[in-house]
Structure 1
Amino acid sequence: MKKVLVAVLAGGALLTAATPALAQTTQAAGTTLGPYGYGKVRLGMTEKQARATGQIVLKMAAEAGSCSGWDLKAHPSGKNAVGLYISKKKGVALISAPKGVKTPEGIGVGSTMTQIKKAYPNVKTPQDGYPSVRVPGNPKAYYAFLVEKGKVYELSLGLNAQDCTN
């Protein structure tokens, strides 16, 4: 019996129907943040490698010793924001989740603290900071959740040793 891959473009999203594993892999590549990056953009990539993916566009040049700010071409971040930071020393250091994107564990903008704690029992919230947790499957990375009124309004994936944001 032949297996058929069907692809349909609906509302700008590629929908696939195939074997469950193939469909899941195709979906995960474009709709999840983590554990190593988003789409073809991976944490730790040099600026040159990240540009070569064709998925980013420069938004803010790096000043001496700082990081440059970029946007994902398919997901512009709007005024006074960037979609990712690239460090001169560490490479791609931090990627913010585009609208509608979730972690592999199903956490995204709009998720509650209860949902975060269920998905990530080891989540920690410093007294003067935002909840964060090590990324399952990638010990070199963390998720940071910006929460207001009990709900996530921003989510990012960063290198533990990144030098772009605090």
Structure 2
Amino acid sequence: MTKHMITRRLGRPALVAALAGGMLLTGVAPAAVAESATGAKGTLGPFGYGGLTLGMSAAKAQATGKIVRKTSGPCAGWDLKAHPTGRDRAGVYISKRRGVAMIFAPRGVKTPQGIGIGSTGAQLKRAYPKLKESASGYPVAAVPGNPKATYYFLLSRGKVTEVTLALNNQDCAN
């Protein structure tokens, strides 16, 4: 499975743990780091975050009142209202076919195993002993308790800089 997608981070292009699927996102790149003034709290996974559940339809997700649309298309980019991202980023992608397909962890949010932005590579390996490497070289892990989802991680200089919860069959990125 090829897993590449490009995002901007701090004005520089960066490869992000690209996710399974058949198309490359256009218009808005995923949130590398939420840009809210305060760190978020809570847990990303095993089924969702912030009132959103993987697979939830766009209508149901919007009905939560917790998201705002940023782009349209087969995979629309959205932000969590509590954690807005920059102009060329999105914190959530919702597929017309699959519903909520990808959720990017805001700063301060961790997986149930304690991994979040700022965790070390060593902590990541301890938390996910069956951690695998995607075809593109990024760490991926099965989501404990949810066989329909995967965590994707981006590391830079030995630290986690992005955590994504995604449906295994998501169609928003390749």
TM-score category by the smaller chain? 0.7 to 0.9
SS of alignment partner, residue 115 of structure 1: helix
How many residue pairs match? The answer is 137
1:42 pairs with one of 47, 53, 61 = 53
Gaps of 5+ in 1: 1-11, 14-29
Give, in whole Å, the separation in 1 of the partners of 2:120 and 2:135. 18
TM-score (norm 2): 0.75
Superposed displacement of residue 126, structure 1: 2.8
**Could you tell me which residue of structure 1 aligns to residue 101 of structure 2?**
93
Between Structure 1 and Structure 2, the one with more helix by share is: 1
TM-score (norm 1): 0.79
Give, in whole Å, the separation in 2 of the partners of 1:86 and 1:123. 26
**Could you tell me which residue of structure 2 aligns to residue 115 of structure 1?**
123
SS of alignment partner, residue 60 of structure 1: coil
Give, in whole Å, the separation in 1 of the partners of 2:152 and 2:136. 13
Worse-superposed segment, 126-135 or 144-153? 126-135
Superposed displacement of residue 127, structure 1: 4.9
Q: Select the structure of larger CA radius of gyration.
A: 1
**Could you tell me which residue of structure 2 aligns to residue 55 of structure 1?**
66
Is 1:132 the counterpart of 2:132? The answer is no
Alignment of 1:1-166 (within 5 A): 31-62=42-73, 66-166=74-174
Seq. identity, %:
58
Per-residue CA deviation, residues 39-96 of structure 1 (Å, 9 max, x unaligned), is 210000000010011110001111xxx2000000000011211001000100000000
The aligned amino acid for 2:66 is: Q
Give, in whole Å, the separation in 1 of the partners of 2:172 and 2:135. 21
